[in-house]
Amino acid sequence: MADQPRRPRTLNDARTEAEAAFKKVTTKIAETPPKKTAVPGIKEQVTLRIDQDVLEYFQAGGPGWQDRINEALRKAVGK
């Protein structure tokens, strides 16, 4: 079979190819941050807004109210 003549390239074809090549080279794949391993017994200090009535409920039980909130949150997430 004889080679068929190539059709002339247009400016639009060249631009499209150049943009595709540039995008391929410059596009960065988002790396997911490494998952932190939860160490048992290590607590992290956070600021959390809780409704006043909920806070009073847990504080009414005396000392350890923060641990009781933590236990309730664990149950809520299924752990």
Which pTM does this prediction carry? 0.48
Write out the chain's pLDDT in tens, 79 residues. 566 777 666 666 778 888 888 887 776 777 888 877 777 778 888 899 999 999 999 999 999 999 999 999 999 998 8
Q: Are 45 and 55 spatial neighbours (Cβ–Cβ below 8 Å)?
A: no
Instruction: Report how far apart the first and last C-alpha atoms of the chain are (Å, whole number).
Output: 70
| Predicted local distance difference test score (pLDDT) of residue 66 | 92
| Predicted local distance difference test score (pLDDT) of residue 43 | 84
Q: What is the spatial distance between Cα 39 and Cα 36, in angstroms, rounded to a whole number?
A: 9
